[in-house]
Amino acid sequence: MKPFTFKQFKIEQSKDVFRVGTDGVLIGALASVGNAFNVLEVGTGTGLISLMLAQRNPQAYFLGLDINEDAAALTKLNFKNAPFHARLKNRHQDFKTFETEERFDLIVSNPPYFEESGSEKDKIARQTVELNFGQLIANAARLLSENGIFSVIIPVEAGEVFISIGKENHLFLNRRINIKGIENSKAKRLILEFSSQEKEIDESYFIIEKSPRQYSDQYLELTKEFHVFK
C-alpha cells in the first residue's frame, strides 16, 4: 500500500491496519500537547497521531500502545523512520492490562467507536470489541498526571455517553470541538478533552470542507505544517 507523505515524516501503511484518515489528522493537529512532557497514545494504528504531536512539541516524549500486532509493528517502523525517533517508543500491549509507575501529561486516542457487528473489516480498530469507552476512560483516569489531559476524537452521537462516563471516573470536560464535515452541516465528530479539574468548557467549531472536496481555510491553516498540498 502506498505510503502517506507529510512534510516532516512519512507513514508506511498496510491493508491490515487502519489507514491514515481525517480523524487522526485532526486530533494530531488539535490535541493540547503544548505543555506535555510525557504522552501516551492508546491505539496507535500507523503511529500518525504521536508523530504529529511529536512534531508540534519537540520537548515531549511518547509511548504508543496497540493491541494489534500488525499495527504495533507498523508503528515501530514509522517511529524508527521519523526525524524525532529518539522521543518515540511503542509496545504491542493491551491498554486494559497496561501497568506502569509513570503518569502522563497527555493521554490521546482515536478510539474504536462502532458497536460490534458482523463485519471483520477493521474489526479491532473500528469497533468497541477489545476496548470499550468505560475501560478506556477508567484506565486513562488512573494514568493521568495531576494536571494531565485526556483527549479523544469520537462520533458526535457518542458524546454525551462519553462525557457521563468521564464524570463517573472524576474526569471533567474542559474542551469541546464540534467538527463539521462541510459548512452548513451538522457536526459529525467531537474532540473532547478532560482533566481532573472542573473548569468552564472551552467550546468551538471546526469545518473541514467549505464545499465538496474543497478544504476550508480553517483546515488548510491547521494542517499547513503537515500536509503536502498540491
pLDDT in tens, 20-32: 999 999 999 999 9
Nearest Cα residue to 147 out of 186, 109, 113, 103:
103
Contacts 24+ apart (CB under 8 A), 132-135: 133/158, 133/161, 133/162, 133/165, 134/165, 135/95, 135/96
DSSP-derived 3-state class of residue 21? coil
Distance separating alpha carbons of residues 22 and 121, to the nearest angstrom: 19
Cell readout for 57 is: 512539541
pLDDT exceeds cutoff 50 at 114: no
Work out the burial of residue 130: count CB atoms within 10 Å of its CB; fewer than 13 is exposed, 13-18 middle, 19 or more buried. Answer: middle
pLDDT exceeds cutoff 80 at 123: no
Check if the beta carbon of residue 39 is closer than 8 Å to that of residue 125.
Answer: no
How confident is the model at residue 230, as a pLDDT?
A: 63
Helix 22-30 vs helix 48-56: crossing angle, to nearest 10: 30
Give pLDDT tens digits for 157-187.
999 999 999 999 999 999 999 999 999 999 9
Pairing of strands 38-42, 104-109: parallel
Distance separating alpha carbons of residues 19 and 70, to the nearest angstrom: 12
Distance separating alpha carbons of residues 9 and 223, to the nearest angstrom: 14
How confident is the model at residue 131, as a pLDDT?
A: 73
How many residues are present in the chain?
230
How confident is the model at residue 194, as a pLDDT?
A: 98
Query: In the chain, which ranges are continuous DSSP H helix?
Result: 22-30, 48-56, 69-81, 123-126, 133-143, 159-168, 217-222
Distance separating alpha carbons of residues 125 and 230, to the nearest angstrom: 30
Give pLDDT tens digits for 37-82.
999 999 999 999 999 999 999 999 999 999 999 999 999 999 999 9
